[in-house]
Amino acid sequence: MTDDVLYSGLVMPGTNPELFAAILLGDAWSPGVVTLSGHNREENWDIQSAKGAEGSSTKLNGRPVGQFQASFFLADQDDVYAWHDFQRLIESTTSGPTPFALPIFHPDLAANGFIDVTNGGVGGLVWDAQGGATVQVKFLEYRPPHPKPSKKATPKATAGTARVSDENGYGTREKPDPNEDAKRELAALVEEAQTP
């Protein structure tokens, strides 16, 4: 197979190498060259051996929160200077009183459904003899929990909605999404990448 074959169902690395060299986090492209690992999708199976019988039973318990590593190779002093700002952006997701997520884009992450991530840990710079450095970052997928409603509970507005009064006294509307602009830009990039 050649680089001209469609990769990850989204883009071709031979014709779009710049999309594979960096990640878009929020509205900032990462400096240097990125290599991803561990961005697999797994299912959470509960496998139980049968007591007093042969075989096992399985129960699907949903999909665990994804996590992956990104290694950034910073080739020169310009990349290292740019890294400091990018590191502050990553760390901003967990530096305040309430952690938040930023939208992320890379063709391989998009293929596995990684959309919003938060900081899982930033490693230190590991310098090489040519004046460059490598740094590893752990990212965690952000998916807020959705508790099962109690059978006795009455429905309430979810985290993404706010109760507002209309002429009848009730109604719901969506709360504004603080990442709406970045998500719109990400959707446009994905659409552009999918266009032959």
Q: What is the pTM of this model?
A: 0.62
Q: Per the structure block, which two tokens stand in for 168?
A: 């009848």
**27, pLDDT greater than 80:** yes
Task: Label residue 73 by pLDDT band (50, 70, 90).
Answer: very high
Per-residue pLDDT tens over the stretch 1-26: 334 443 444 465 666 777 789 999 99
**Do 68 and 121 form a contact (C-beta atoms < 8 A)?**
no
Do 102 and 120 meet the contact criterion of CB atoms below 8 Å apart?
no
Using a 10 angstrom Cβ sphere, with 0-12 exposed, 13-18 middle and 19 or more buried, the burial of residue 176 is exposed
Please report the pLDDT score of residue 148 as a whole number.
Answer: 67
**118-165 pLDDT, tens digit each:** 999 999 999 998 888 999 999 999 876 667 666 665 555 554 444 444
Q: What is the pLDDT of residue 22?
A: 94
Ordered structural domains, the chain, with CATH:
17-41+63-145+157-194 (2.40.30)
Average pLDDT over residues 91-97: 92
More confident of the two residues 29 and 18: 29
Q: What is the dihedral of CA 117, 120, 121, 127, to 10 degrees?
A: -50
